[in-house]
Amino acid sequence: MGKLGTIARRTFLIGSVAVAGGVAFGYYMYKRPAANPLLEELGEGETALTEYVRISSDGITLITPRADKGQGVYSMQAALIAEELDVELEQVTVDPGPPSPAYYNTALSEEAAPFRSTDDGFAAESVRSVMDVLMKFLGMQITGGSTSAPDGYQKLRIAGAVARETLKKAASQKTGVAVADLTTEGGAVLLPDGTSLSYIDLAPMAAQIEPVTEVSLRDPSTWRLIGQPMQRVDIVDKSTGRLVYGIDHKVEGMLHAAVKLNPAQGGEMSAIDGSEAEKMRGVVKVVPVKGGVGVIADNTWRAMQAAEAVKFETGPSPFPASMDDHWSALEASFVEDAVDSRQRDEGDTAARLEGAEVFEAEYRAPYLAHAPLEPVSAIVQVQDDRVDVWTGTQIPRFVQSNVADLTGMDIEKVHVHVFMMGGSFGHRLEDEVVKQATQLAMAVKGKPVKLTYSREEDMMHDFTRQIAMARMKGTVKDGKVETLDLGIAMPSVVVSQMGRQGFPVPGPDLQIVAGAWEQPYRIPNYRVTGYRAPQLAPISSWRSVGASSNGFFHDCALDELIHAAGADPMEERLRLMWHDASRKTLEAVAEMSNWGSDLGANRGRGVAFVMSFGVPTAEVVEVTNTPDGIKIDKVYVAAEVGRVIDPLNFDNLVKGGVVWGLGHAMNCEITYTDGVADQTNYHAFEAMRLYQCPEIEVRGLENSDKIRGIGEPPVPPAAAALANAIYAATGQRIREMPFNKHIDFV
C-alpha cells in the first residue's frame, strides 16, 4: 500500500498537468512529439501536418504506425484520422511510417498495470497514467495486446482535426475569409461561395504557419466513417495477388537465403561442414548464423535445398528432454515458494475447503506454434553508411536497435521498412529472422539478402505459447457455487520474451493468471494463485497470451462446480457476476442461442465467459455427438468493446478469433523430444479446416465508455465453451488441450 501511495502521489502531478491541458473543457490539446519523424524524411514538396498526415503534390498519405497482421488496423487507423480530416479513404495512401518514439503505444500500459480492467478507481487510473508516461519514455512502438483501437481512438482523431484546422487557417490567411466561415469536405476547404481549395494546394502554406493545436472532436452522431462498415483499404490488392508482403518484396540485386537451425531448441550447432552445399547450383556462400547455419544463393528453393545439405552436429538443448519432464516442472511448482501472485483472495478459501465435500480437477494446456501462413522473412542490406531492413514486424524499434548492435552502425542509420504481414498472432514479436538475415547480409556486404524460413524452420523454432497447468478445488452449497480455489502454474512469458530483448522483468507476471484472476464474479470464497514455473522451452505471446490457457481453466472449473451444484450454467454465471457490462454479454448470448430451449438428442450447449484485455466476452457453443465424433454446429458470441469502429471488420475478426480458439483446442500441440519439436509442418498442426467451421453469430456491444480492441478477446472463451458443450452432449469432461487426445472430432 505504501508503494502504491507514492506512485499515486507522483502520478497526481502528471495527472493534473494532463487535465490542465484542456480535456476538462471539451477541447483536446495536441501534444507535439519531441521530434516528428516525418520531418526527417520529407521529400521535395512534401508537408507533414502532425506525425500522422503527409501531403505532397501527388496526394495525401495517412501514417498508420500500428502494424497490420491481417486485423485490418491500417484501415481502422486511416478511418480515425480521415473522420476528422475530412478525406475519403479512396483519396489517400496509407503508410506505416518509420520506427519512432513518436508512435509509442499508449494503451499497452493499461494491460501492464496491476489492476483489473474493471477497476476504474483512482489508484488504478493513476498507475495507468504513470505507466503511460513510462511507455512514452521507452518509445514502445509495439503492436499487440489488442491495443490498436484504444491507442488510436483519440490520438488519431486529434491528429486529423489538427491537420484539418491548420489547413483551414492557411485557407483563411490566403483568402481573407474567417476560419469560422470555412468548411471541409473530400480533401478540400470550401469557401462560403462554394470555391474549393484542395488540401494538396494548401499544404505548402499550412506548413509555414503555426499549427492549430487546440481542437474539439466531432460528436459521434455526425461521424461519416466510424461505426460504418468500411471496405478495407487493401481488399482489392489482397483479392488480386497484388499485395506485397515482406516475403514478396524485391530489392535490386537481391540474393536469397535459407537457414538450417540446430534442431534442438536453444542448442548450438557444431562441426558445420558446408562443402557439399557450396558446390550446389546457385549457392553463393554458407555462413554460420545465430543458432545454426545459413545458405545464400540466387533462388530461395536452391538455398533451402543447400541448407539441407549442410552437415553438422546437433548441439544439445538446455531444456528438459521429454514432455514428462516439462510437465513435472509444472507439477512441482504448486508450492508456496513458487507463488507469483495471489491478487484475488476473497472469503476464507482455505478454511472452507477443510472437511467439506471438495470437488477437484486438474487442467493442462500445451505449447502451441503461431504458424501464421506467411513464414517469417527479412531482407537486409548492409552498406558503408546505412543498413536497410525490409520485414513484417510488430516491434520495429527493437529490430532497429538489434540490427544497429549487430552491424555496429548508429541507430539512425538503420532504416526499417515495415510490411504488411501474412498473419502473426504474436509470432512477429520476435526478431531472430532479422538477426540471422543481418549476419548473412554482413557476409556479402553491399548486397541485399532475403532470408525466408522454410515452414519447418518456422514451426520447429517458434517461440511457442506457454505450457500451463491448473488445479481447481471448490465447494458448492444449496445449489450454488460457494468456493473456487484456482492455482495456475506456468513459466513467465514476459520474462522469456523480454529476456530475449535484453530486458529483465522484475516482480510478478500477471499473465500467469490473466483471464482468471480478474473475472468479474462474486463467489463467497474465491482465490486465484499464480505459481511461477521455471523457464522451460522459450515461449512468447500467442494470441491472447496468458488468457489463452487460463480462460479455459477458469471457466471450465466454474462450469464443473455449477454442474456439481445442480445449477443452470447460464443462470449461475449471471447470479455470480457483478459487472453490468459483462452480464450483458451473457444475456446477449443467452438470447441469441435461445438458451434453455431443447436441442434434441445427442446435442449439447455450453457457455463460457472470459474477460481479457478489458473485453468481456461470452460465447455459447452447440455441438452434436455423431457416430464419427463431435461436430461443432454453431457458436454465438457477444463482446463489449465500448465502440465498434467498423462492424464488418469486427465481425470478421471475432469469427477468426473463434476459429482460432476452437481449432487449436481441437487438435494442436507442440511437443519436444530432446528439445526437438515433434511437429514440423501443418500436417501435424492443422487447427480448423473449412469443413469443421461452425456457423458463427456475432454481436458487438457498446455499453461501456472504454474503447477496446477485439483481436484477442474472442479466443479464450472458445475452448472453454467447447469443452462445456461436449460435457453437456456426452457427459465427458475434457480437461486437457488438445481435446482430440480424449475425443474425436468430425
Partner 1 sequence: MKLSVNGKSHDVDVENDMPLLWVLRDELGITGVKYGCGIAQCGACTVHIDGQAVRSCQIAAGEVEDAEITTIEGLGQPEALHAVQSAWIEHQVAQCGYCQSGQIMQAASFLQLNDEPTDEDIDFAMSANLCRCGTYPRIREAVKTAAKTLRGA
Residues that bind partner 1 (CB under 8 A): 69-72, 229, 231-232, 234-245, 247-248, 250, 256, 281, 299-302, 371-375, 420-425, 452, 454-455, 648-649, 652-653, 655-660, 663, 681-683, 686-691, 693, 695-696
Residue 236 binds which entry of partner 1, ligand FES, none, with Cβ cut-offs from 5 to 8 Å by kind?
partner 1
Minimum distance of ligand FES from residue 84's CB (angstroms): 30
294: buried, middle or exposed (CB in 10 Å: 19+, 13-18, 0-12)?
buried
CB closer to ligand FES, 37 vs 70: 70
Minimum distance of ligand FES from residue 289's CB (angstroms): 24
Minimum distance of partner 1 from residue 419's CB (angstroms): 12
Say whether residue 690 binds ligand FES (CB under 6 A). no
Say whether residue 515 binds ligand FES (CB under 6 A). no
Helix (H, G, I), strand (E, B) or coil at 656: helix
What are the residue ranges of helices labelled H in 21-72?
37-40
State the binding string over 421-450 for ligand FES (x if CB under 6 A, else -).
--x---------------------------
CB closer to ligand FES, 349 vs 393: 393
Residue 333 binds which entry of ligand FES, partner 1, none, with Cβ cut-offs from 5 to 8 Å by kind?
none
Task: Give me the sheet containing 183-185, strands edge to edge.
Answer: 183-185, 188-190, 196-198
Could you count the other beta carbons within 10 Å of the beta carbon of residue 573? 25
d(CA 88, CA 469): 50
Residue number with the smallest Cβ distance to ligand FES: 373
Residue 2 binds which entry of ligand FES, partner 1, none, with Cβ cut-offs from 5 to 8 Å by kind?
none
Angle CA 606–607–612, to nearest 5? 140
Angle CA 453–458–463, to nearest 5? 135
C-alpha cell at 253: 540485386
Number of amino acids touching ligand FES (CB under 6 A): 3
CB closer to ligand FES, 3 vs 683: 683
Residue 248 binds which entry of ligand FES, partner 1, none, with Cβ cut-offs from 5 to 8 Å by kind?
partner 1
Say whether residue 711 binds ligand FES (CB under 6 A). no
Say whether residue 70 binds ligand FES (CB under 6 A). yes
DSSP string over 412-459: GGEEEEE-B-S--TTGGG--HHHHHHHHHHHHTTTS-EEEE--HHHHH
Minimum distance of ligand FES from residue 225's CB (angstroms): 23
Residue 693 binds which entry of partner 1, ligand FES, none, with Cβ cut-offs from 5 to 8 Å by kind?
partner 1
Question: CA torsion angle for 667, 668, 672, 673 (degrees, to 10)?
Answer: 30
Say whether residue 291 binds ligand FES (CB under 6 A). no
List % helix, strand, coil for the chain (3-state, nearest 5). 40, 25, 40
The partner residues of 618 in beta bridges, in order of sequence, read: 609, 638
What are the residue ranges of helices labelled H in 139-187?
148-175
CB closer to partner 1, 20 vs 236: 236
Residue 643 binds which entry of ligand FES, partner 1, none, with Cβ cut-offs from 5 to 8 Å by kind?
none
b vs e for 308-329, b when ≥16 Cβ sit within 10 Å of the residue's Cβ? Answer: ebbebebbebebbeebeebbeb
Are the CB atoms for 586 and 574 separated by under 8 Å? Answer: yes
In one-letter notation, the amino acid at residue 530 is G
Closest CA to 111 of 122, 98, 124: 124
State the binding string over 448-487 for ligand FES (x if CB under 6 A, else -).
----------------------------------------
User: Among residues 13, 24, 373, 690, which is the contact residue for ligand FES, using CB under 6 A?
Assistant: 373
CB closer to partner 1, 100 vs 143: 143
Residue 243 binds which entry of partner 1, ligand FES, none, with Cβ cut-offs from 5 to 8 Å by kind?
partner 1
CB closer to ligand FES, 239 vs 597: 239
Say whether residue 601 binds ligand FES (CB under 6 A). no
Q: Which H or E element spans position 548?
A: helix 546-565
What is the binding site for ligand FES (CB under 6 A)?
Answer: 70, 373, 423
